[in-house]
């Protein structure tokens, strides 16, 4: 409902939590993981609770990582709270590691929403921006609107406005033009799943930003906690990409602009190959020019 309205949805069962995840009430990889952990608690760790939560959305590995942890937990309530608290601590650590990479006065292009609304608080890529802004009030954000669901326009722009971080909203197809004019210093995005070789699934359109950043010799960083790393997936080709409903592409909030009967594709994520990524910022540090060996080393 943001940015027009703020509403809180109370979930009382695992099924309600799963529906909230599927319907994007809770979205963003780390927030999905946290919500799923609390969903298991609401569902008394039953098999049905695990099954319904696991079926909510396929791409963000944080969901399955959290469910795995909850399966092994002796005290599920304490474990869910630990998952939430650890995510917040990881975000703050990423903020510190990442802020050191932000040049003074940097104009930082972001994609999707990776802030407090996508995590337990602070944020991943937007958390880096937040920490950098605490240190240097001259940095600014260029937020891509992020078609079709508009997480950038609706959520990232809202978070920046709330915090007084200078933010300029652009449509996604303006990114290349701004880069070519020298109006962008670097790009930083979040992740939904990072394969063992560093290939990174994130919001649809991230790949395009990665290609453009390379073309314009701009740093392209990914910020994600280790809960987003998936060492069991060898490379990006094995990551399942969620396909979402056609109405997200053909219109918005009841307004339809595409003709009835047209075929639609709506993949919600894409994969940016590791070779386009300058560095992955996680709570343990920064993996520059990520590859299989460097990622395995930081996860050890
Ligand atoms: O479909 P969404 O809104 O859940 O997608 C969110 C993203 O792709 C984010 O960039 C990613 O989860 C990182 S959030 C810290």
Q: In the annotation, is 235 catalytic?
A: no
User: Residues with Cβ within 6 A of ligand 1?
Assistant: 27-30, 60, 112, 114, 118-119, 124, 151, 190-192, 202-203, 268
Domain CATH number, residue 37: 1.20.120.420
Q: Are residues 42 and 130 in the same domain?
A: no
In a domain, 233, yes or no: yes
| pTM reported for the whole predicted model | 0.98
- Residue 198 and residue 291 in contact, taking contact as beta carbons nearer than 8 Å: yes
Chain centroid to Cα 90, Å, comes to 14
pLDDT of residue 24: 96
* Dihedral over Cα of 161, 163, 168, 174: its sign: negative
Answer yes or no: are the C-beta atoms of 222 and 198 closer than 8 Å: no
Domain end (from 64, 89, 114): 89
Asked if the structure places residue 5 within a domain, the reply is no
Q: Model confidence over 139-150: pLDDT tens digits?
A: 999 999 999 999
Distance CA 274, CA 286 (A): 14
- Asked if 167 and 258 sit in the same domain, the reply is yes
Catalytic-labelled residue, pool 87, 192, 199, 270: 192
Res 280: pLDDT: 99
Residues of the chain with pLDDT under 70: none
The confidence score (pLDDT) of residue 22 equals 97
Residue 144 and residue 227 in one domain: yes
Say what the pLDDT of residue 146 is.
98
Ligand 1 centre distance from Cα of residue 55 (Å): 17
| pLDDT at 184 (0 to 100) | 99
The CATH number for 140's domain is 3.40.50.10470
For residue 187, list its beta bridge partners.
109, 220
The two most distant CA atoms of the chain are separated, in Å, by 56
| 211-253 pLDDT per residue, tens | 999 999 999 999 999 999 999 999 999 999 999 999 999 999 9
Q: Are 251 and 245 in contact (CB under 8 A)?
A: no
Cα–ligand 1 centroid distance for 28 (angstroms): 4
Q: Could you say which of 54, 73, 89 is where a domain stops?
A: 89
Domain hosting residue 45, numbered range: 14-89
Q: For the chain, what is the domain count?
A: 2
What pLDDT score was predicted for residue 133? 98
Q: What is the pLDDT of residue 202?
A: 99
């Amino acid at each position: 409902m943001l940015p027009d309205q703020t509403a809180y949805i109370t979930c009382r069962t695992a099924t309600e939590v799963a529906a909230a995840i599927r319907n994007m009430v809770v979205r963003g990889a780390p927030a999905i993981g946290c919500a799923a952990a609390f969903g298991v608690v609401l569902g008394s760790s039953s098999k049905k609770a695990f099954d319904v939560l696991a079926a909510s959305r396929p791409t963000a590995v944080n969901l399955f990582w959290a469910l795995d942890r909850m399966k092994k937990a002796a005290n599920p309530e304490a474990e869910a709270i630990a998952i939430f608290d650890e995510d917040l601590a990881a975000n703050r650590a990423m903020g510190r590691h990442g802020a050191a990479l932000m040049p003074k006065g940097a104009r930082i292009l972001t994609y999707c929403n990776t802030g407090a609304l996508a995590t337990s608080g602070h944020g991943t890529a937007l958390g880096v921006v937040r920490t950098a802004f605490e240190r240097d009030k001259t940095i600014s954000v260029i937020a891509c609107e992020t078609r079709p669901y508009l997480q950038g326009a609706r959520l990232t722009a809202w978070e920046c406005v709330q915090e007084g971080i200078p933010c300029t909203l652009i449509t996604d197809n303006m990114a290349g033009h701004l880069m070519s004019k020298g109006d962008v210093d670097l790009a930083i995005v979040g992740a939904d799943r990072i394969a063992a070789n560093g290939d990174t699934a994130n919001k649809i359109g991230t790949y395009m930003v990665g290609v453009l950043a390379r073309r314009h010799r701009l740093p392209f960083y990914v910020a994600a906690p280790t809960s987003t790393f998936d060492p069991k997936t060898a490379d990006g080709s094995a990551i399942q990409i969620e396909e979402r409903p056609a109405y997200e592409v053909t219109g918005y909030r009841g307004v339809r602009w595409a003709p009835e009967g047209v075929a639609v594709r709506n993949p919600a994520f894409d994969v940016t190959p590791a070779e386009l990524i300058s560095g992955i910022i996680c709570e343990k540090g920064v993996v520059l020019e990520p590859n299989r060996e460097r990622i395995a080393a930081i996860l050890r």
